[in-house]
Structure 1
């Protein structure tokens, strides 16, 4: 059996050890691998750091459309029929120049380091709220379900301007969107079920847009509702797509990092103690947690000309898939990549992507992770696993689904 087919197996991609072993094998033996599976259109799997970085920084040669994430043929057809695109709703991650640059510019100022730093007091307050909740649980909780999934959700919803009573619905929709291959999170097994999730997002954010047009506020929703592109109001489909990617990617990946970061600290008590002793390392620790967990598993590109990587010729118009967790464990680019080191520099890691499509919300994500652990660790006396952590079965965005803990506060 060709091992590259395991990339499409949610059970393997939802098993931390099995996933990284697979990436190690592919980097060493099949780094540019042609994948053919009856449920998917063929694609090339790219697993080495140098190739992924090169592709990411050359967007004119490797474009995002028409395939941006791995979607089964049946669902691609449903999206094509309903939206005229194999990607469905076209978000920032699906767009190419010049449209991508224009729409990214709508919120660019919001997500720069300066404006994000001004959110510190808000994020710190929400972090304290969830550490307080953890303490109030009396020494035991499922950290993922009760803390890490909800904390960044509340942060991004407050920035967008979505009321707290809608957070539960937004969490459910995000899990159905990203966890569509996980039996416990998927809405159903048919392409129509996945389409229904997108339509629910569309309906919800359509109401938000209309409300902000009538009742503008000092929030991101108002910025998007009133945005102009080339002097004209942003198209509704673009507005809704913008909301969806901001709301979903803005909390799900950070939640995965907070949970995966705490798991790594528990498994590396020397790093946990170091972070207790030197809380000023929380910023670099946050960046290491993001590299170490790499919640976004992949993105896809399409070649505009013939390309050669590792001796393999990829023809113009063929699809390629960039596997970020593999790049972030590539020893040719990152020293001792399997070691969790909170003092690591991490300027070269690719968890946020690279080039013009580098994650717009990276500074917010780092701030959220940093401030959570700044709040938690000084109050925490002891922590351990209460039972084995469980992972979401997903090939696009992944992370922990459950992590029962026992702990004692000071």
Structure 2
């Protein structure tokens, strides 16, 4: 039975168990499958590690534009009419050479390991704040809603320069953007609601840009507000899109990793004990949590020439969808991929992408996860899941929506 249409079901792709069941089946039985659905442009779904890595290494043959993520045709048309692009936004993930390299260079120094390392003191203070909060809650909390959603939110907002009193608004917009297919998170049920979320981001960040032009500060907002590309001010769509991807992806994916990582530690107590015994493993544990949870489910590319994958011909101009969780559980690229191993060498994992489009914020994400567990585990005596898990219904960026836990400090 052809199960490829399940890739478009947010309930299946949001839930870890059902997602991996589907992706493992496709990787084994139908690794290059053609997906046709009346609400979407047709595309090829690829689920094998070697194929996805090859595409990621050959950007001139596989373009990010004009279709970067799965979007329903009706909403694509809405975005095309509003912004002149099927993607709407013009972030780094939507760009190809030479523009991609130029725009990536705007913040490259900011996100290098050395620059990120200078933020450690501030990040440690924020991590301690949320571990203190967890301890003060008296032994029970919803780890997602009370802790993992909020810690990386405060972190990325402080880096951008968004004031604390506006963080809850940014959280709501982020959840509406990435949770648009989840009835409990979406603003509404049609494309006008989704467009309104994007426009709210535009309104907020346009005002922030104007403020930083007049009142520069030591934050990322000032860098973006005053950036020059080829000697000219950055175009407004590029500028605001940069803000949006930093504020949303920089928060939501890290939140999903911390929650999913905590779940993995609870389910693998020997790994939890190993991490307690050797805190130096927190960096490699953070990388393993990212590989294991893979918050970004997919990215799309468009072929510039006919290509062959697993005996299938994908013609020039056709769309390819790369499923990263499938690649990160493929034994052809990852040894014992279904095992959660905090000592794993994760140099080959694909959760951050690969090649020139590898996630610009990867070092920040790893550091955030590492510092949180460095603060938590020496103080945490016991922890267990204390209720039903709930997952964000999503096809693009997913993870836990609720995880009640019981614990002792």
TM range (shorter): over 0.9
Moved over 6 A (4+): none
Q: Which residue of 2 aligns with 1:233?
A: 233
- 2:100 is matched with 100
Distance (whole Å) between structure 2 residues aligned to residue 179 and residue 89 of structure 1: 17
- 1:108, distance to aligned residue in structure 2 (A): 0.1
Q: Residue 247 of structure 1 aligns with which residue?
A: 247
Match of 1:331 in 2: 331
Residue 223 of structure 2 is matched in structure 1 by: 223
Task: Tell me which residue corresponds to 2:263.
Answer: 263
Shift of 1:389: 1.4
Give the whole-Å Cα distance in 2 for the aligned partners of 1:168 and 1:41.
Answer: 35
- Superposed CA offset, 1:362-406 (max 9, x none): 000000000000000000011111102111010000000000111
Q: CA–CA distance in 2 between the matches of 1:203 and 1:70?
A: 25
Over residues 86-127 of structure 1, what are the superposed CA-to-partner deviations in whole Å (9 max), with x where a residue is unaligned?
A: 000111100111111100000000000100111111110000
Higher mean alpha-carbon deviation, 383-392 vs 364-373, is at 383-392
Deviations 1:30-51 (A, max 9, x none): 1000000111000000100000
Q: Distance in 1 between matches of 2:321 and 2:305?
A: 16
For residues 2 and 378 of structure 1, the distance between their equivalents in structure 2, rounded to whole angstroms, comes to 48
Q: Which residue of 1 aligns with 2:142?
A: 142
The TM-score with structure 2 as length reference comes to 0.99
2:207 corresponding residue in structure 1: 207
Post-superposition CA distance 1:9-50 (Å, at most 9, x none) = 011112211110111111111100000011100000010000
Q: Match for residue 321 of structure 2?
A: 321
Give the alignment of 1:77-92 within 5 angstroms.
77-92=77-92
Deviation at 1:154, TM superposition (A): 0.5
Structure 1 position 237, deviation (Å):
1.2
Q: Is the 8 A contact 2:68 2:93 kept in 1?
A: yes
Q: Deviations over 1:273-292 (max 9, x none)?
A: 00000111000000000000
Q: CA deviation at 1:4?
A: 0.5
Q: SS state of the match for residue 378, structure 1?
A: coil
Q: For residues 12 and 394 of structure 1, what CA distance do their matches in structure 2 show?
A: 8
1:121 partner SS = helix
Distance in 1 separating the partners of 2:368 and 2:89: 28
For residue 378 of structure 1, what is the aligned residue in structure 2? 378
Cα deviation per residue 1:288-325 (whole Å; 9 max; x = unaligned)? 00000000000000000000000000000000000000
- 1:181-214 CA-partner distances (Å, limit 9, x unpaired): 0110011110000000000000000010000000
Query: 3-state DSSP class of the match of 2:377?
Result: helix
1:402 corresponds to 2:408: no
Q: Which residue of 2 aligns with 1:186?
A: 186
What is aligned with 1:155?
Answer: 155
Q: Distance in 1 between matches of 2:167 and 2:92?
A: 23
Name the SS of the counterpart of 1:379 in structure 2: coil
Cα offset, 1:249, TM superposition: 0.6
Indicate the SS of the match to 2:67. coil
- Structure-2 separation of matches of 1:215 and 1:15: 44
Deviations 1:117-145 (A, max 9, x none): 11111110000000000001011110100
- In 2, the alpha carbon distance for the partners of 1:15 and 1:145 equals 17
- Counterpart position of 2:276: 276
Please report how far the alpha carbon of residue 2 of structure 1 lies from its aligned counterpart in structure 2 after TM superposition. 2.1
Gaps of 5+ in 2: none
How many residue pairs align between the two structures? 409
SS of alignment partner, residue 381 of structure 2: strand
